[in-house]
Amino acid sequence: MTTVEVHDPRSDPEPTGWRRFQKKARLLPVWDYRLLGIEAWVARNPPVLAVARQGEEAVGAFVAMVCRTVRERAYAPPPDTPRRGLAPRWVEVYLPALSGHSACVFLPGVDDDRKRAAVLAFERAVVDRLGPGLLGVVYRAVDHDLGPVLSGRGRVTREIDPVAVLSDVGSAEAWERGLPDTLRERLGAGSLRVESAAARADLDGRELATLLNDHRARQDARAWREGQRSRVGGLHLDTRSRIAPSYLDALVRRPDVVTTTYRTAEGDLAAFSVLLDHEEGAALQHFAARPGSGLWVDACARAVRHTADRGRPLLTAGRTLLDRKAALGFGTRPLVSVAVPRPFLGRRGPSR
Amino acid sequence: MKTGIGRDSLRGMVKTGVDALWRTAYRRVVRSAFATVPFYRERWALGGRTEPRLGSGSAEGAVSTEDLVRAAVDLAPLAGGPTGFDPVRGLGGLLPLARPTAGDGLLVALEHPGARPVWDLPRGWRGCLVDAEVDDPALPEVGAALGAGRPVVAVGPDKALDGFTDRVPGGDRVHRVPRRTLDRLDSGPYGVLHDPVLGYLGVLRDCGLWHLDWTRVYARRTRAGLAFTLLRQRSPRLVDALVGGGVPGRVEWCPRHATPVVRTVAG
């Protein structure tokens, strides 16, 4: 018997055994319950954490964004706001700040039947929680392997932009030698002062967030001009929120997060990158720079060096600029999105 | 037999009405700031404050103007808006109370170059910004207005007012309104309460009390000092700002005008 509990990280205590599950499921720091709480408070479409259990043991987890609209100009109401059951909403199972990684995870060794049971239980729990206004659930950017578990009758599956992955790095020197000359020339930061370390307590979250949100806004505008794949029916379906200073404050202070900053001689922040370090693989989560800085290649090279030096098996680097990342030796890992309309939620089982 | 409402009863009713409107406007601004403005959302949600007047920490939810300046980019609501501060905000609205003058006059705001023009002047009035430390190109216009017998009101710090009235021909006919900060309120006879981030907050009226511009500005007492909120400015949103680094004081009601006034320890 699989049960699913839904926890609102803004108001509910951390689920029992959550840290043990995080460790066993080898989750990246973005799954930290406190970070999820900060993210939820400053989100237009706040995430909740659903934990699937078989007996007492947690076997799977979902980060589910409760979305009200794509054009909302306000944050989500606080958790104690009286619920309007008929207000249209949908759920996106998605890690908005780490889009190349699945927000639907299971312990190693859980077979597909148990995963399907957990998915159905999750959908029923979401229906119970959100009431008649729920339009459906979208599993966004999940690993290709999970496609068969999530798909089935009435469920729409679509392959989306893959995530860039660099595996079997070997040595950083060998990787650099393999780069085209034009890219190798762009390594280094010129006269900028570069500092890179884990658990950075010397950084100002607001300074980082301002640079990052500006960078993301430029990136989004470019993607929109170039016809990004989230353009559906002429709508700009962006359910993400700005990254809040307090979120970055908490993130960069973690011992498993490596932050690299580039500063001018005057001390102004020219660029920074955030690398999530994990024994299963590192993830280059954020990079932000002033326009035209040209520091992305150097930030990427530092991430590769860290991955190689620590002996991590792979490095992921997001879903954008895949052609440029290919020039740096990155391959891709396929991702799918699965949309489940309300009538099929938890009722008709996914195909076997 | 005497019938009707006495003057004191009328003042009491006015005070009750003004108080209710004033607090309602403040609560609306706080709720809106929490729902739409990144800076307050983050600060109050993570500090445990989601309702007006349920303060947290030593400052009861209030924030220094220095912190607000540092966070300027996050003071615009999610829908967007300007993030620059307007040091002359509110001056036009206070002018009739600051120095009642008849006719179509000229308001001279003694500000540093780069300040925005005063935009909320009473009907018939014109305004100009003058840098008192240089021979500003607007000085001939001021001289012409004085020569034509139009009233000219100059607002600025004492030193700037002295410099301005010395430079302009007929400067002795300029109506001076000195600018005061919250920690240096005096007994007048004229004056406006100013903060470089929030703009003009109040005025010294003929009753001798420092009146808040209560339709645009809310003030409340916190442990860290008097905290001010701009009730009508959408962006940048300024809520519970500790003007002057936090000046101890209290908000009272004027017995003559039945509207809110501030009293500070220094003032």
AA letter at A186? R
Q: Tell me if B42 and A77 make a contact (CB, 8 A cut-off).
A: no
Q: Give me the pLDDT at residue A263, please.
A: 96
Q: Give me the pLDDT at residue A71, please.
A: 62
Q: Give me the pLDDT at residue A229, please.
A: 53
Q: Tell me if B36 and A75 make a contact (CB, 8 A cut-off).
A: yes
Q: Give me the pLDDT at residue B54, please.
A: 44
**Alpha carbons A189 and A194: distance in angstroms, whole number:** 7
Q: Please, which pLDDT band fits residue B58 given cuts at 50, 70 and 90?
A: low
Domains of chain A, earliest start first: 2-161+335-344 (3.40.630), 163-334 (3.40.630.30)
Q: Please, which pLDDT band fits residue B191 given cuts at 50, 70 and 90?
A: very high
Question: B235: distance to nearest CA of chain A, Å?
Answer: 14
Any B CB within 8 A of A75 CB:
yes
Q: Tell me if B41 and A77 make a contact (CB, 8 A cut-off).
A: no
Q: Walk along chain A (352 residues) and give the pLDDT tens digit of each residue.
A: 899 999 999 999 999 999 999 999 999 999 999 999 999 999 999 999 999 999 999 999 999 999 986 566 899 988 877 766 578 889 999 998 898 899 999 999 999 999 999 999 999 999 999 988 899 999 999 999 999 999 888 999 999 889 999 998 888 888 888 888 888 877 887 889 999 999 999 999 999 999 999 999 898 888 777 766 554 555 566 788 889 999 999 999 999 999 999 999 999 999 999 999 999 999 999 999 999 888 988 999 999 999 999 999 999 998 888 888 898 899 999 999 999 999 999 976 545 5
A154 contact partners, CB below 8 Å, separation of at least 6: A340, A341, A343, A344, A348
* Chain B partners within 8 Å of A210 (Cβ): 73
* Chain A partners within 8 Å of B38 (Cβ): 42, 242, 244
Q: CA of B74: which chain A residue's CA is closest? A: A210
Question: B36: distance to nearest CA of chain A, Å?
Answer: 5
Strands B192-195 and B175-180: parallel
Any A CB within 8 A of B77 CB:
yes
Any B CB within 8 A of A38 CB:
yes
| DSSP state at residue B204 | E
What ipTM describes this predicted complex?
0.87
Any B CB within 8 A of A242 CB:
yes
Q: Give me the pLDDT at residue A238, please.
A: 78
Any A CB within 8 A of B162 CB:
no
Q: Is the pLDDT of residue B133 over 80?
A: no
* Chain A partners within 8 Å of B36 (Cβ): 73-75
**Alpha carbons A290 and A136: distance in angstroms, whole number:** 39
